Amino acid sequence: MKIAPPDSAVDTLLPAVADFLAAPKMVIGGENVASASGKTFAVYNPATGKELARVPAGSAEDVDRAVKAAQAAFEGPWSKMLPAQRQGLMLKLADLIEAHGEELAQLETLNNGKSIMLSRLIEVTASAEYFRYMAGWATKITGSTLDVSIPIPPGMRYQAYTRKEPVGVVAAITPWNFPLNMASWKIAPALAAGCTIVLKPAEETPLTSIRLAQLALEAGIPEGVVNVVTGMGEDTGAPLVAHPGIAKIAFTGSTETGKLIGVQAMKDMKRVTLELGGKAPMVMFDDMDLDLLGVAAGIGSFFNTGQTCCSGVRIYAQSGIYEKALEVITNITRSLSIGSGLDPRHQINPVVSARHQAHVKSCIARGIEQGAKPMICATAPEDGFFVAPEVFTDVRQDMALMQDEVFGPVISVTPFTDEDAAIRMANDTRFGLGASIWTTDLNKMMKYVPRLQAGTVWVNSHNIPDQNMPFGGMKQSGIGREHGAGAVENYLETKSVCIAYR
């Protein structure tokens, strides 16, 4: 069944969803397998707090099996395919993602809790588009011819050129906030480059990644090219990162885990890209178009219940519009409907887990303790992992609420008078993933965009990535960029070839 209209509610679950939930397995070497130990762990429905399925609990043994399968595929059928064949298979996979769109969307909302509308639009449609975009790069990988000036031995002449070669087996490790989309951000450029993959999805949300690997097989992508190992970070992620068969690590997750992975990667000289946390500022100037405050709060701040790495959580509003901005933003926040993601009318859905719910609640409590003022104080449904959205004022720069990731529907609004001081406050963070300025003054935009320390700066918008727009972090928000041609480069080695002739 194709994807349903994004804003339609889920009245009944598809039979394919119930079938899948009965016994999800890892995908290794083209087969659906249990863990070597036979152990499983529970994944939950955040809207009810109840167990949704049991998934294999992987270990180093499973990781080893998956890496060996990926190595065999890399040296075998995958390396023999023409770029156009890789492209064709990726396009077929994109079609299959859409063909199974409703099933994938329902699985994602059941497992992650997010709005079915976002599951359909982002997890499914944007992921299919991502495979199509990256499929195009498979046939456009080029090196260059190089004129060189080597003078010895006398009489010898040289011509050099570069070849771009797939780096090898990729370890992809993803977080829980956009499970299928994050898996696509890793798998698609790796396949375009000719790599094979072992993906370790977040333990909270492994289901759609498993389904994606099954669809890759159905599309005709050879067995062993896309493998999925499920399990805890320490039990499966760590051995995967340390495995000698891995050539490159593509990680998205918290800065803390990213640092551990970066250290391990350097020990082994593995290629590594790290997409990490954020604490994005939105700087609103007096001349901003106030009609955009709804976009700022709805998409900038509370999109995906605030569980977005570049959510605009620190709003700085200039004194001339501060009162108005605060009034509109708090009114919007009060009006947000809280409930299950299966009903797309709810804009605030449960957060992903009981542990994360406790974390978000503790950030709110600590903010209050430290003197920040909550403006909403709403209640959330008791069952499930819900947290009501909150807007804080009186948040000082040195408070945890201003410096640490909450990763939930919690924002602050702070006034400023001096523009340069506002940019300094915006940059006063260890993170540097996203930022935005809101102004109708072109001169102001040209002046402040270069001064914001963030991998992406939006103007009069926030929190909207695009597959053709490099995405990644400055400072402790990461190393490297995803999307665009550069994303494929992350999965390629450059080899210089030097030819001597007389």
Q: Does 200 bind ligand NAD (CB under 6 A)?
A: yes
Comparing CA positions, the residue from 360, 276, 376, 291 lying closest to residue 325 is: 291
Amino acid at 417: T
- As a whole number of angstroms, the distance between CA 275 and CA 491 comes to 15
- Residue 241 binding ligand NAD, by CB under 6 A: yes
Whole-number Å distance between alpha carbons of 10 and 185: 27
Nearest-approach distance from CB 473 to ligand NAD, in angstroms: 6
**CA 318 to chain CA mean position, Å:** 32
Q: Extract the tokens encoding 124.
A: 């499914």
Binding residues for ligand NAD restricted to 257-296, rule: CB under 6 A: 257, 260-261, 275-278
Nearer to ligand NAD, 11 or 234 (CB): 234
* 241 vs 422 by CB, closer to ligand NAD: 241
Considering 103, 123, 223, 275, which one is annotated as catalytic?
A: 275
> Considering only residues 219-238, where is the footprint of ligand NAD by CB under 6 A?
233-234, 237-238
Cβ closest to ligand NAD, residue 215 vs residue 240: 240
8-state DSSP, 449: G
Phi-psi region of 304 (alpha: psi -120 to 50; beta: other; left: phi over 0): left
Question: β-strand 157-166 against 145-146: which pairing, if any?
Answer: antiparallel
Q: Give the torsion through C-alpha atoms of 453, 456, 460, 465, to 10 deg.
A: -160
**Residue 202 or 488 with smaller CB distance to ligand NAD:** 202
The nearer residue to ligand NAD, 171 or 317, going by C-beta atoms, is 171
* CB of residue 256 to ligand NAD, shortest distance in Å: 6
Tokens representing residue 39 in the block: 């152990």
* CA distances for 464 relative to 248, 309, 398, angstroms: 27, 11, 28
Would you give the binding string for ligand NAD spanning residues 390-409, x where CB under 6 A is met?
---------------x-x--
Nearer to ligand NAD, 106 or 177 (CB): 177
Among 98, 102, 123, 203, binds ligand NAD (CB under 6 A): 203
Burial (CB count <10 Å: 0-12, 13-18, 19+), residue 14: middle
Query: Is 385 near ligand NAD (CB under 6 A)?
Result: no
Residues 333/297, Cβ–Cβ less than 8 Å: yes
Nearer to ligand NAD, 173 or 284 (CB): 173
Q: In sequence order, what are the beta bridge partners of 410?
A: 390
| Residue 254 binds ligand NAD, judged by CB under 6 A | yes
Contacts for 442 with CB less than 8 Å, ≥ 6 apart: none
Contact 35, 232 (CB under 8 A): no
The catalytic residue among 103, 195, 223, 309 is 309
Nearest approach, Cβ of 84 to ligand NAD (angstroms)? 30
Work out how close the CB of 153 gets to ligand NAD at its nearest, in angstroms, rounded to a whole number.
51
Q: Looking at beta carbons only, is 197 or 261 nearer to ligand NAD?
A: 261
Options 21, 433, 452, 488; binder of ligand NAD; rule CB under 6 A: 433
CA atoms within 13 A on the CB side of 30: 12
**Residue with token string 């050539």:** 247
Contact 252, 224 (CB under 8 A): no
Applying CB under 6 A, the site for ligand NAD has a residue count of: 29
Phi and psi (nearest 5°) for 326?
-60, -40
Residues 157-196 that bind ligand NAD (CB under 6 A): 173-177
Q: With respect to ligand NAD, which residue has the nearer C-beta, 71 or 476? A: 476
Partners of 316 in beta bridges: 283, 414
* 498 annotated active-site: no
- The residue from 119, 196, 227, 252 that contacts ligand NAD (CB under 6 A) is 252
322 touching ligand NAD, by CB under 6 A: no
Binding segment for ligand NAD (CB under 6 A), chosen from 98-106, 136-144, 158-166, 253-261, is 253-261
CB of 239 vs ligand NAD, minimal distance in Å: 8
CA distance 296 to 302: 9
Compute the least distance from the CB of residue 347 to ligand NAD, in Å: 20
| Torsion (CA) 56, 57, 60, 63 in degrees, nearest 10 | 30
Q: Map 280-347 to HEC letters.
A: EEEEECCCCCHHHHHHHHHHHHCHHHHCCCCCEEEEEEEHHHHHHHHHHHHHHHHHCCECCCCCCCCC
| Residue range at the interface with ligand NAD (CB under 6 A); choices 4-12, 39-47, 139-147, 256-264 | 256-264
User: Active-site residue 275, yes or no?
Assistant: yes
* Binding positions for ligand NAD, 90-129, rule CB under 6 A: none
Q: Which is nearer to ligand NAD, 224 or 253 (CB)?
A: 253
CB of 180 to ligand NAD, least distance (A): 13
Q: Which stretch binds ligand NAD (CB under 6 A): 13-21, 128-136, 154-162, 248-256?
A: 248-256
Q: 382 by DSSP, 3-state: which?
A: coil
Q: Print the binding letters for residues 471-490 with ligand NAD: x by CB under 6 A, - otherwise.
A: --x----x------------
Name the nearest CA neighbour of 433 among 473, 460, 467, 463. Answer: 473
Residues carrying an active site annotation: 275, 309
Q: Which residues bind ligand NAD (CB under 6 A)?
A: 173-177, 200, 202-203, 233-234, 237-238, 241, 252-254, 257, 260-261, 275-278, 309, 405, 407, 433, 473, 478
